[in-house]
Amino acid sequence: MVRSHFNFDWSAAIQGWLQKNVEQSYRSDMHRWPTLLSFDATIYRCGPNARLFVVRDKPSASAIPSISGGNETIAWPNSLPNVINPFEETVLPDLLERVYAHFELRQQDFAIIIPDSEHSTIEEDFRSWTIEQEKAARWQLEFAMKRQLLYVRGFDQVGGGFFLPPGYEFLAKDCERFFQDHPRYEKNVFVMTRFVPGDKLLVALDVELRRVLRENDLDPVRADDKMYLSDRNLWNNVCVYMLCCSKGIAILEDRLVDEFNPNVALEYGFMRALNKPTMLLADVGFRNLRADVIGTLRETFDITDIKETIESPVSRWLRELN
C-alpha cells in the first residue's frame, strides 16, 4: 500500500529536484523561477501503477503550498487516453502533450508522472525505479524546465512547442487563425521557394515535395497558400507561417533566375534564428552559393528529374530529425 504521505513527499521532492536543476543551469533566474516559491499540486490516478502530479505556480511567495491529500488520487479524466505504462518512450510525449492541453497548463505550470511505490521513503522509492522510469522522469523535468524558461525570459508559448518571440505578440490572433487550418504545430513544415505562378518546374517541385511530406504524416505549407493578416501585410503573413511551423525546407535553385533567391535566404535565416530545424535542399546545378551557407550541410535533388530525386533526400533528413 502507498504510504499515507506519498503525495506530500513527492510534491516536495519534485520541487526540490526542479530547484536543483534550475540552480545548476539557470542560477541567475532562480529568484523569479515559477513553482519554486509556492505551488498547488493536484494528484491524479494514471494507469494502474502511477500517478500524475499537476503542479501550478502560485504568484505570491507568502502563499502556502497546497497539495491534494495524503495518498489519495483523483480519477483520471475521461477525455484523456488510458494507458497501462505511461513511461514508455513511444507513449509519454504524446500523452504529456494531451495532459498539458487538457489541464490548460500555463508556461509556469507543469505536470509529471511518478510511479507508485509501497516503500516508506523517497530514497527507497527512487531506488526501486526501472531505467525506463528514471529516463521518463528526467525527460518530463527537462520538458517542464524548457517551458518555464520561456516564461522566465518573457516568451509567450501557446503549446506543443510553439512560442511567440518578444516583439511578435501582435501576431497572436493571426497565428490562432493559422492553427485553425493547421492545428498540429509539430507537424507543420514551412516550404521556402521562389514564387513564379504557373512555372511548370516549380509547380511539379511543389506537388512532389508536398506529397513526400504528407506521406510522412507532416503538413507542408507555403506563405502564398492563404493570407491570415486582416491588413494583408505580406511580410507579417510570412512571419505567421514561419512562427507556426516547427521546421522548414529551403529550396535552392537558380535555373529560372541566376541568383540566390533573396526571399528564400531571408526566410531561411529567420527559421534558423528561431533554432527551428531547417533543411537546405539544393538543385544539383545550383551555382549561387553564399559564404553563410557554404559550410552548411545540404541535400541535393535534380530539378529536371524531380519525381525520381526528391523523396530520398527529404526522407533521409526526416529520419535524422527523428
Residue-range domains of the chain with CATH? 6-154 (no CATH), 162-321 (3.40.50.2300)
pLDDT in tens, the chain (322 residues): 889 899 999 999 999 999 999 999 989 889 889 999 899 999 999 999 999 999 999 876 556 778 877 789 999 999 999 999 999 999 999 999 999 999 999 889 999 999 999 999 999 999 999 999 999 999 999 999 988 987 887 666 665 678 888 788 788 889 989 999 998 999 999 999 998 888 888 999 999 999 999 999 999 999 999 999 989 999 999 999 999 999 999 999 887 776 778 899 999 999 999 999 999 999 987 876 654 554 466 789 998 899 999 999 999 999 998 7
| Residues 55, 49: Cα–Cα separation, whole Å | 20
Q: What is the pLDDT, as a whole number, of residue 199?
A: 87
| Residues 46, 50: Cα–Cα separation, whole Å | 5
Q: What is the pLDDT, as a whole number, of residue 294?
A: 45
Q: What is the pLDDT, as a whole number, of residue 155?
A: 66
Beta bridge partners of 159: 162
Q: Which three cell numbers stand for residue 298?
A: 545540404
How much is the pTM? 0.57
